[in-house]
Chains A and B, each alone.
Chain A
């Protein structure tokens, strides 16, 4: 099996995550889709590390995880704050900043 299959899987998961971000309205689900995209990117990094024969890709994937963790913490805090004031977790309800 060609290791490129991992990359194809990564591309597919990334695109699915993107569709989820664009189509879902529940902020938490949107967030999970973002996580999916990040994970897909990580898979690509890990695969590239293997293809190239060095560990730099894995280090980047590691950093990505750390950043994703930060993002989740802050993002969920924002969702909670919005939910507290608007009683809704729908991203479509927070649409006051518009034309």
Chain B
């Protein structure tokens, strides 16, 4: 079921020209993206490049008469799995970039030799592999999804069930791993109150003041003013402070009555 690209008739053992064109455009890009992926410093960039490779592969799947897998590749892999990656990257720190200096002696050389040797052997083996070309036209007569379903629920039903068990186990495992064990009792409200009002307590007795009371600015990045007119830095989110997005508080400090112009107005 060559939806888009496969042109009939084609030379036996060969794909159609449109597919060849597609391949020769996308394959180098995929290789380039993959190589870049392992050489860029930032993990986010790696993730984006990998997403690109995956989309390329999805296109290839569709071109290879596997539209179901192509769609799944985009939805599940590029969509869900890569988002999970990005999510975790966020948790771990988006900005953290690797140093690309190798610390283990001989690792690079050995890696290159090993991987290139592996690649050469594989490619050499492909040359000797099965050279026939059956095509999936016959297999996909009832539709690709229907064909796959038929196999999945007949010949591969056992593997299917096992894999479902594996998925559940993985979900449970992730929950167990993500769970943080409390080492002490959760403090009660009463205990927290006592803690707050104890002399020398670092916690504020009252709730923190809300940031920003000035309409002339986006209030969140402006610290609140205390009754004595001084600004309270603790009222601004730490994130903003870290980002350097807090406005200078000086501008909003209350001037004394004698100096104030607003009062007189």
Contacts and interface: CB of A to CB of B under 8 A. Distances in A.
Direct contact of A and B (CB under 8 A): yes
The 3 A-B pairs of least Cβ separation, nearest first, read: A53-B134, A1-B20, A20-B38
Interface string A1-35: 11111111101111111111011111011011101
Given A13-B30, A46-B66, A63-B163, A80 B129 contact: no
Interface in B69-85: 69, 72-73, 76-77, 80-81, 84-85
A69 B81 contact: yes
- Interface residue tally of chain A, by bracket? 35 or more
A11 B122 contact: yes
A7 B233 CA distance: 61
A32 B85 contact: yes
Interface residues of A, dominant DSSP: helix
Contact of B151 (A31, A43, A59): A59
A74 B57 contact: no
Nearest to A83: B92
Contacts of A62: 68-69, 72, 148, 152
A50 to B, nearest CB: 5
B167 interface: yes
Contact of A66 (B13, B27, B163): B163
B119 A70 contact: no
- Interface residue tally of chain B, by bracket? 35 or more
B225 interface: no
B81 A72 contact: yes
7 contacts: A18-B114, A35-B77, A55-B140, A69-B167, A77-B177, A84-B180, A89-B96
Given A1-B19, A46-B69, A53-B136, A16 B167 contact: no
Given A3-B15, A72-B84, A15 B68 contact: no
Interface of A: 1-9, 11-20, 22-26, 28-29, 31-33, 35-36, 39, 42-43, 46-56, 58-59, 61-63, 65-74, 76-81, 83-84, 89-90, 92
A51 B107 contact: no
B72 A65 contact: yes
B92 A79 contact: yes
Contacts of B134: 50-54
Given A7-B129, A23-B111, A31-B85, A61 B53 contact: no
B46 interface: yes
Contacts of A13: 30-31, 34, 53
B259 interface: no
B82 to A, nearest CB: 9
Contacts of A74: 170, 173-174, 177
Contact of B64 (A36, A47, A71): A47
B147 interface: yes
